Every structure is written in C-alpha cells, then in structure tokens.
C-alpha cells in the first residue's frame, strides 16, 4: 500500500520520463515527431509489398490483416526487449538518487504504449482512406484489450528489467526470444493455419488471445469472444503481480550489482 | 522511532561482496565459476546514531571508510545487510547533478524532468521554477538545448534544481565545488538558509572547514565503525592528528627509522627536490610543541619548533640558513634567513643541529610544508631541500583568511 502511495507521489516523474522518451526519440531528426506516424506507415508499405505482391497468402486485404496485429505486437516486443535494458541503462541515476525503481520500467512500457496509440491513429486513417471501414461497437472493446496487453507487457518488462541486472545476457537472449515468439503468435498468419493437434499448444501462448482479439475487432469487425478476453485479462493480472513481486525482491540489490 | 529524530540508524551493518574478477554474463558465470568467488567485506560494522530534526551533521573519515555508504543507506539507495535505518520525512540528495537530463531538450524542459525525479509534482515544480532559473543564473540560456551548455552551466542547472527541492532531509556528498567562487558562495549561503528553515542536513566531505561552518555535530567513521561523535572542531582535531600519525607510520614502515635517508634525492626516506654541494648535508627534521613532544598538528597561535639535523663534511667557516613555509598549493607564506634574523652561524663544525622556534604560529588554517637551505659565505648552495616536512594548522579562533592579525576592537 505504501508502495502505491509512493508511486503516486512520483507520478510526475513517470509523466516526465514518458514525455522525454517520446519527444527525445526523434528530437535530433529533421522530421522530428512526424516519425512517430511515418514509421508505421512505412512498415505498412513494406508489408503490403511483401505480402500482397511477393508472397500472396490468399487472405483478403492481407496488409490490413497483418497490420492490425503487427502494431500491437511491436509494442509488446519493444516493451519486452527494450524494457529489459531500462535499469542497466539508467544505472547512473539508480546509483545516486532514490526514487521508486519501478517507475523506470513503467515509464518505458508506457512510452511504448503511447507510441502504439499514435500508430493506431495511422491504422484508423488507413482503414478510413481505403474504405475498409470499422465496426463502432467492436471498437469499444479496443481500449479494453489495449489495457490488457499493457498490463501483460508491463508484468513481463518488470521481470526482464530486474533479471537483466543480474544476468546481462538476457538482453541478447530476449532479442531471439521475441523473434521466435512473434512467429509462434498469430501475427502474420491466422490461428486457423495451425494444425489441429497443435492448436491447444498454441493457445497456451498468452499473446495469442490478445492478438486474436485485436484482429477480431479491426479486421473481422466483430466483438471479440468473451472467453478470449477473460483468458487474456487473467494472464495479464497474474503476470503483473508476479512482475511486481520479482521486481521488488530483486531491486534491493540493484546498486551493488550494477 | 523517537519523534524529534529525523534519521535513526540502529546497529546497521553492510556487507559488500568483493569479487576477484566479476563476470556478469552467462558465459562468465558458467565457465569461470571460480572467478565468482568473493570475499565478504564489512563496509559498515554495527553503526548506530540518531540525527535530530533540523540538525546538520557532517560525516568524515578516510576514503573507503563507509561514509558514502552510510549516506546511501539513509537515502534508501542501498539496503542494510543487518540492522535498521529509519528515516522520517522526504529526502533529497545532492549526490548526482543533472540526473535524467536530455541533451536535446531545453534547460527549462530538463528542469521538469530532473525535479520530477526528486519526486516533485508538477504543481510544486511550477511554484519553484522561477527560483530555480534565477538561482542557476542561466537567464536567457534557459530555453536553449542543454547540449549547448558548458559543463559549468550544466552543473549549475543541476545544482539549482537539487537545492530547490523542498525536502525534510538533505544529503550532500562532496559537491560544494560547483561553478566559480561566487556561485559556490551562493550555494553555501543557500545551504545555511535551508538549515535555518529547519531542514536536516547530512554532509559527507573532506573539506573539514565547510563542515565546521555548517554542522552542529560531526561523526567520524573509521573502518566501518563510529570512532567519535561530537562538536566538529573537536572531532576534526582528533581526526587530523590520527591522519598525520598514520601517514608517518606508513613512512616509517617504508623507510625504517626516520631521518636516516642518505641518498642525494631523498630526505627522511622521501623523494624530494634537492640540490647543493652536500658539504653541509641535512639528515633529518622534526617538529615539536612547547613541551618537547613530537607534533605535526598545531593550532593557530601555538608554539612550534623545527629541528634540522645535519652533518658537515669539513669545516665551514660561516653558513647561512634559510627556511620557507609553503602551502600545499605552493603559495609562499613565509620565509626568512639566519642573516635576517641575525643568528650566529659561524664555526659550523662540531655542531649538528639547526633549530628554529616559532613563538606563535600566526597562520590560520591549512596544510603547510617547510623548505630549508644552507648556503656558504659566498652564497653557494650547500644543501637545499623543498618540502622537508609537513604540518597542519587548525584554526580554532573563528577568524578567517590566511594569517592571524592581532587586533584590538573597541567602540568610542
């Protein structure tokens, strides 16, 4: 409880760090903040070229199919891999100043999250401009699934950021893990591509229901299945609790390890 | 925890693992597991003290004695291995200046980031921002990106934020050396204001003078234990004596008996700058107080006697001796010769000691060294040594500056 109160007292630090990260990211570049929008657009372009010209998967409007899943995935994977580094990167600050250490991973995941929100502006613009359209009622579920994904990503980032302090290899291991994880998740293919007997195994992947829910809402324009949502919520909450616990335990030794 | 206390340490112990050769990567951990053998090192060994609200306390001790660790424990940057650290109130620290600065953002934007790291809310920052900018003296530069700042400007900005954080406890580690003299003075003045406003202050410093000016009490930590707590002046006097004693012990351990150096570029076993024909050769020097005890720490106004031993190779009809006092920054404080002092230095042979007595040391404070010369009647150098011995003067008079002036004050 005290921890929460303290975290609340440091809310301005969270806000500042997120702002600094978002604005600082493209500050020195010519186009500046526009990169936040240009980046996903260019990605969309690449995927469109690759999947509708080179590799025809036989899925209607494949670029939209991929894009609505890819944007949430990029948020997740950058929170996972970048988040792992956040404590080590800020070691000067950690060794010299007291603040609740948990602010760092939270602010990093939040700034990735905000970045995803900007990308969603691009998604909606594309849906609108191409005339693909969207289902308003289904979209009401979008914030919910975003929050669930945020919680899950935060839980993982808490664990990885704390563990990386003790085992620096994790940073590199996570790069590979995140790549493998992407292909294990229904990001560039639908879940139905997976052989029947392996379906249950793939369902164990907590990202599978989350990605599926995004796609239900935006691509299939339907309300996601309640079962999927519930499963994702429970996984998210479990992970964030475990994450907080692990982080709190490990953070006591940060200064000595760094 | 008692209500009037703002910091309490109860039987605090802190252990560090000293790795012979530490590997953080998996390869290192698995392949070279032998390297991960470590020794336990108790940085703090059962320390207890309490600091009252509004009190200013200095922590002194040699490097590695555990004083900075103590500060980090109070700041909750580290956690004790054993014992309890209780802190009552918001802590701010002047340990790291300019934390979280982004080079591409303006000074003003960085103030927000930096201040928020100290736990200030947006409202608090907005109340303070004018003070912060005024204090930093950055004026029109405040809206330029921080990367265009000089390092002095950068530090000034960082310091201004840190010192304007409203806190109940302020921790300072050896950083009152920011910016030019006038800025330092201002920082010091602000520190006194903060103290008068009732903030508890803990300072780690080697600048004993600064501690004496601000602190009510001083804690001397030695090998992870508290050696002494008391008034800064008293603790410092004892601390300096101990330091001097140790450095002499170290020198003796290196060179056997003091004063037996016979090499041309050494004196008392130390390497020195030395020149001269060597027909008169200084072999040793010692400082004494009035009671004839060997001493190296004196107080302003005290008696000091320096005794130089020498050997003269052949008969020297008439010699001239000279002595100079230098500060550790090579400032020349004093110098005189046997000619000026009209001392009889004829027929040297048979004598082997040259003694100078200072009835009253009229230097105020600092570390000093003595130079000595011996010249023959034609002015040719027989032996000349720079930095023959060091001594330290403590100022307990309360007067400031470099030399003591006797004066009478009255109103008419």
Verify that B173 and B282 share a domain, yes or no.
no
Verify that B298 and B196 share a domain, yes or no.
no
Verify that B174 and B283 share a domain, yes or no.
no
Number of structural domains in chain B = 2
User: Domain ranges in chain A?
Assistant: 2-257
Q: How distant is the Cα of B99 from the closest Cα of chain A, in angstroms?
A: 6
Could you say which of B78, B96, B113 has the minimum Cβ distance to residue A16? B113
Q: How distant is the Cα of A24 from the closest Cα of chain B, in angstroms?
A: 7
The DSSP secondary structure of B388-410, one letter per residue, reads EEEEEEE--S---SSB-------
In this complex, do A16 and B118 lie within 8 Å of one another by their Cβ atoms? no
CB contact residues (below 8 A), chain B span 85-144, against chain A = 91, 93, 95-96, 99-100, 102, 104-105, 109, 112-113, 115-122, 125
* B143 phi/psi in degrees, rounded to 5: -100, 15
B13 within a domain of the structure (yes/no): yes
Nearest to B396 by CA among B299, B295, B296: B299
- Joined tokens for residue B206: 């080697």
Could you say which of B29, B104, B116 has the minimum Cβ distance to residue A24? B104
- Joined tokens for residue B238: 């004892």
CA gap B276, B131 in Å, rounded: 61
**Residue of A6, A10, A11, A12 to mutate, testing the B interface (most B Cβ within 10 Å of its Cβ):** A12
Verify that B74 and B201 share a domain, yes or no.
yes
Q: Which residue's entry shows tokens 């440091």?
A: A10
Contact residues for B331 (Cβ-Cβ < 8 A; gap 6+): none
Contact of B135 with B165, CB cutoff 8 Å? no
For A223, which DSSP code? P
CATH number at residue B103: 3.40.50.300
Verify that B230 and B286 share a domain, yes or no.
no
B388 within a domain of the structure (yes/no): yes
CA gap A242, A245 in Å, rounded: 5
Q: Does ipTM surpass 0.90 in this model?
A: no
Contact of A37 with A116, CB cutoff 8 Å? no
The DSSP secondary structure of B158-210, one letter per residue, reads HHHHHHHS--SEEEEES----SSHHHHHHHHHHHHHHHHTT-EEEEE-S-HHH
A2 and chain B: CB distance < 8 Å anywhere? no
**Residue of A22, A96, A174 to mutate, testing the B interface (most B Cβ within 10 Å of its Cβ):** A96
Q: How far is CA A96 from CA A40, A78, B172, B244, in A?
A: 37, 27, 11, 32
- pLDDT tens digits, one per residue of A97-136: 888 889 999 999 999 999 899 888 888 888 888 887 777 8
Could you say which of B72, B99, B122 has the minimum Cβ distance to residue A12? B122
Crossing angle, helix A11-25 and helix B107-117, to 10 degrees? 140
* B267 phi/psi in degrees, rounded to 5: -145, 125
- Joined tokens for residue B392: 């330290």
3-state SS, residue B364? coil
In this complex, do A20 and B105 lie within 8 Å of one another by their Cβ atoms? yes
Direct distance between the N- and C-terminal alpha carbons of chain B, in angstroms, rounded to an integer: 54
CATH number at residue B322: 2.70.50.60
Verify that B83 and B190 share a domain, yes or no.
yes
Contacts of A27 in chain B (CB under 8 A): 102, 104-105
B245 within a domain of the structure (yes/no): no
B283 within a domain of the structure (yes/no): yes
Contact of B353 with B308, CB cutoff 8 Å? yes
Per-residue confidence in pLDDT tens, chain A, 258 aa: 677 888 888 888 888 888 888 877 776 676 777 777 888 788 878 877 877 777 666 777 777 888 888 889 989 998 988 888 888 888 888 887 888 889 999 999 999 999 899 888 888 888 888 887 777 888 888 888 899 999 999 999 999 999 988 888 888 898 899 888 988 888 888 877 778 777 777 777 888 888 888 888 888 888 888 887 888 888 889 989 999 999 988 888 888 777
3-state SS, residue B271? strand
CB pairs under 8 A, 24+ apart, for B288-297? Answer: B295/B391, B296/B241, B296/B244, B296/B248, B296/B389, B296/B390, B296/B391, B296/B392, B297/B237, B297/B240, B297/B241, B297/B244, B297/B391, B297/B392, B297/B393, B297/B394
B249 within a domain of the structure (yes/no): no
Q: What is the dihedral of CA B132, B136, B142, B144, to 10 degrees?
A: -140
- pLDDT tens digits, one per residue of A133-162: 777 888 888 888 899 999 999 999 999 999
CA gap B104, A33 in Å, rounded: 13
Verify that B262 and B224 share a domain, yes or no.
no
Parallel/antiparallel/unpaired status of strands B366-376 and B381-394? antiparallel
Verify that B291 and B226 share a domain, yes or no.
no
- Joined tokens for residue A193: 């591509």
**Residue of B23, B33, B100 to mutate, testing the A interface (most A Cβ within 10 Å of its Cβ):** B100
Domain that holds residue B61: 5-239
The DSSP secondary structure of A179-197, one letter per residue, reads HHHHHHTTTSS-GGGS-HH
B401 within a domain of the structure (yes/no): no
Contact of B375 with B320, CB cutoff 8 Å? yes
Q: How distant is the Cα of A167 from the closest Cα of chain B, in angstroms?
A: 6
CA gap A125, A117 in Å, rounded: 13
B115 within a domain of the structure (yes/no): yes
In this complex, do B120 and A16 lie within 8 Å of one another by their Cβ atoms? no
Verify that B49 and B173 share a domain, yes or no.
yes
Per-residue confidence in pLDDT tens, chain B, 412 aa: 677 888 888 888 888 877 665 555 666 666 655 555 667 788 888 888 888 888 889 888 887 788 888 888 888 888 888 888 888 888 888 777 777 788 888 888 888 888 888 888 888 888 888 888 888 888 888 888 888 888 778 888 888 888 888 788 888 876 566 666 777 778 888 888 888 888 898 988 877 777 888 888 999 888 888 888 888 888 888 888 787 777 777 766 665 544 433 445 677 777 777 888 878 888 888 899 888 888 888 888 899 999 998 888 777 778 888 899 988 777 888 988 888 887 777 777 766 888 899 998 888 888 898 999 888 887 788 888 888 888 988 888 888 888 888 889 998 8
CA gap A120, A100 in Å, rounded: 31
Cβ-Cβ pairs closer than 8 A, A with B, add up to 88
Q: How distant is the Cα of B183 from the closest Cα of chain A, in angstroms?
A: 23
């Amino acid at each position: 409880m005290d921890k929460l109160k303290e975290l609340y007292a440091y809310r301005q630090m969270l806000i500042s760090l997120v702002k600094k990260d978002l604005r600082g990211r493209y500050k020195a570049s010519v186009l500046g903040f526009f990169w936040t929008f240009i980046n996903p657009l260019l990605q969309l372009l690449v995927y469109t070229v690759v999947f509708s010209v080179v590799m025809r998967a036989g899925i209607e409007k494949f670029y939209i199919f991929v894009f609505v899943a890819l944007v949430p995935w990029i948020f997740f994977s950058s929170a996972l891999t970048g988040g792992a580094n956040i404590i080590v990167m800020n070691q000067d600050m950690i060794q010299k100043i007291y603040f609740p250490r948990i602010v760092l991973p939270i602010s990093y995941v939040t700034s990735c999250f905000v970045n995803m929100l900007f990308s969603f502006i691009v998604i909606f613009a594309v849906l609108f401009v191409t005339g693909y359209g969207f289902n308003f009622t289904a979209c009401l579920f979008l914030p919910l699934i975003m929050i669930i994904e945020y919680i899950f990503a935060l839980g993982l980032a808490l664990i990885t950021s704390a563990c990386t302090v003790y085992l620096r290899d994790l940073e590199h291991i996570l790069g590979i893990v995140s790549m493998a994880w992407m292909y294990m998740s229904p990001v560039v293919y639908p879940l139905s591509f997976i052989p029947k007997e392996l379906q249950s195994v793939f369902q164990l992947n907590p990202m599978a229901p989350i990605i599926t829910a995004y796609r239900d809402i935006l691509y299939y324009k339907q309300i996601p299945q309640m079962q999927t949502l519930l499963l994702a919520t429970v996984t998210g909450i479990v992970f964030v609790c475990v994450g907080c616990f692990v982080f709190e335990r490990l953070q006591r030794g940060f200064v000595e390890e760094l | 925890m008692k209500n009037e206390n703002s910091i309490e340490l109860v039987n605090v112990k802190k252990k560090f693992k000293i790795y012979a050769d530490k590997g953080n990567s998996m390869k290192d951990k698995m392949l070279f597991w032998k390297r991960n053998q470590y020794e336990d090192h108790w940085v703090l060994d059962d320390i207890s003290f309490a600091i009252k609200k509004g009190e200013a306390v200095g922590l002194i001790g040699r490097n590695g004695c555990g004083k900075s660790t103590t500060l980090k424990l109070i700041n909750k940057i580290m956690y004790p291995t054993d014992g309890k650290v209780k802190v009552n109130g918001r802590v701010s620290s002047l340990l790291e200046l300019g934390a979280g600065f982004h080079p591409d953002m303006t000074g003003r934007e960085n103030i927000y980031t930096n201040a928020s790291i100290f736990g200030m809310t947006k409202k608090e920052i907005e109340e303070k921002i004018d003070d912060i900018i005024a204090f930093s003296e950055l004026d029109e530069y405040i809206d330029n990106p921080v990367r265009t700042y000089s390092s002095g400007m950068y530090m000034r900005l960082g310091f201004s934020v840190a010192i304007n954080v409203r806190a109940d406890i302020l921790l300072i580690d050896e950083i009152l050396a920011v910016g030019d003299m006038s800025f330092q003075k201002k920082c010091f003045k602000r520190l006194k204001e903060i103290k008068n406003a009732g903030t508890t202050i803990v300072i780690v410093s080697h600048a004993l003078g600064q501690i004496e000016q601000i602190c009510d009490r001083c804690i001397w930590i030695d090998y992870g234990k508290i050696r002494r707590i008391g008034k800064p002046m008293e603790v410092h006097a004892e601390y300096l004596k101990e330091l001097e004693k140790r450095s002499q012990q170290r020198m003796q351990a290196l060179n056997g008996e003091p004063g037996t150096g016979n090499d041309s570029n050494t004196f008392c076993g130390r390497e020195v700058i030395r020149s001269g024909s060597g027909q008169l050769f200084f072999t040793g020097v010692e400082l004494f107080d009035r009671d004839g005890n060997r001493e190296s720490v004196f107080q302003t106004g005290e008696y000091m006697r320096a005794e130089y031993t020498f050997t003269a190779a052949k008969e020297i009809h008439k010699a001239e001796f000279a002595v100079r006092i230098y500060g550790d920054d090579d400032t020349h404080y004093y110098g005189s010769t046997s000619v000026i002092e009209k001392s009889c230095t004829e027929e040297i042979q048979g004598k082997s000691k040259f003694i100078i007595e200072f009835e009253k040391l009229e230097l105020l404070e600092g570390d000093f060294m003595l130079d000595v010369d011996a010249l023959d009647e034609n002015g040719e150098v027989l032996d000349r040594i720079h930095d023959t011995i060091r001594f330290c003067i403590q100022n307990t008079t309360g007067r400031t500056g470099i030399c003591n002036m006797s004066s009478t004050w009255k109103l008419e």
